[in-house]
Amino acid sequence: MMLTEYNTESFPDFSLYCGDSTSVMSQLNNQFDMIFADPPYFLSTGNGKVNINGKYIKFDKGEWDKVRSSDEKDRFNLSWLAACKDCLKDNGTIWVSGTYHNIFSVAGCMEILGYKILNLIVWHKPDPPHSLTDKRFDFSAEYIIWASKNKTANHYFNKELMTLMNNGEPMQDVWTMSAAEQWEKIYGKHPTQKPLQLLYRIIMASTLPRAAILDPFAGSCTTGIAANLTGRTFVGVDQSPEFLNIGIRRRQAISDIHIATDLFAKMAANPNEPTVLVNHARTDLYNKMIETGICYLRAGDSKGSLLVKPGFERIQYVLLHNGGVNCKLFKLKAKGRFQIWTKDSLEKYGFKPTHASYYVVLQFDNQNQIEMKRVPNLYENKYTYIAKIRPISEFLGYNTFSD
């Protein structure tokens, strides 16, 4: 049978196939740098609705998720994991999510097939629903196995970027992230949808730009959206046209640069990552700021008020540019701190401020310019000249849809 894409001809970086994942993967010629798989957890009992605090809530996700015996789970997991191994590059890696219902079977099948398990990530959800019974603790975690193709594979891991995103400390294997939020479900809902933030971290940790990523249980295509927003290509497989159609709507939406920019910012948000104050200055002022190690912004007059946006407390760097070009990055002398100076104080350093009486001042190490691994496009028409707070990984890593 000839393999036919599922209604995605207009997206060269986003291909979908509708059908059984093992069968489709056996016909793919692609060799993938990374696979993310969110297989069935085998939770659904077929009992329909469950009474929770007097309300009946549908708990049965469908036939694909029904409870199965241990032997049935093992046969299923061996089949699709073997197909994944055939699709994976020799230096590629695979991530598989689950709960105790399926993750032990997945781990056992990986051992049989010769994968090398690298980490067991604990995805801790700070806002989990309460347990349906008073005989158990609340379930607040899922587990993600990260594995290389074989025991000797030289896999890629961007430890430097992960450390940078974790406030300079090596990232550990417990990740605290909320489940998928409503802004991720406006084009349709999937019962086991993963958050974009989770896929963003996984992709950034284990791939380079333009990497090829496969998801054999694509659902509403969260993996694909994260892949495309970070400059990777995506192939997804799912047996449900309904869910794939959600994925197509999501992919169509990010063709709009404004929607893509907004989604990327939400996806990349990280409470532990240092931030950068990105500030435009006209040529003479730009040169003076670098000469003195002083960056300043208007703070209003004596009748005004100062609004400090979230993320300011994590500022550790300043990036100066001149209309979107001549970008230079420096480290602040003190993290998350600023001073309020009068125009008279700035004039003592040779500045000639004229637009306000008070200024926000950040002092930086002007003797040590930091080399950027990439310089994103900072030209945004009239918005080019507005100061912004951006994550440091945009400049010292590879993580934007505009690459």
DSSP per residue over 12-36, as a string? Answer: TTEEEEES-HHHHHTT----EEEEE
DSSP per residue over 80-109, as a string? Answer: HHHHHHHHEEEEEEEEEEE-TTTHHHHHHH
Query: What is the distance between the alpha carbons of residues 342 and 345, in angstroms, rounded to a whole number?
Result: 5
Residue of 51, 39, 57, 180 whose CA lies nearest to 101? 39
Query: What is the distance between the alpha carbons of residues 107 and 110, in angstroms, rounded to a whole number?
Result: 5
Region of residue 118 (phi > 0: left; psi between -120 and 50: alpha; otherwise: beta): alpha
Mean pLDDT, contiguous 10-residue spans, the chain (403 residues): 79 94 92 96 59 53 60 93 96 96 95 97 88 80 96 94 90 95 92 94 95 97 96 95 96 93 89 89 95 90 57 87 93 92 94 89 96 80 85 76 49
Q: Are 327 and 377 in contact (CB under 8 A)?
A: no
Burial of residue 336 (CB within 10 Å: 0-12, 13-18, 19+) is middle
pLDDT of residue 394: 82
Both tokens of residue 136? Answer: 């158990």
Instruction: Name residue 213's amino acid.
Output: I
pLDDT of residue 134: 77
Q: What's the predicted TM-score (pTM) here?
A: 0.80
Residue of 232, 268, 251, 239 whose CA lies nearest to 34? 232
Q: Are 143 and 99 in contact (CB under 8 A)?
A: yes
pLDDT of residue 271: 82
pLDDT of residue 403: 45
Residue of 179, 268, 191 whose CA lies nearest to 225? 268
SS3 state at 144: strand
Query: What is the distance between the alpha carbons of residues 12 and 4, in angstroms, rounded to a whole number?
Result: 14
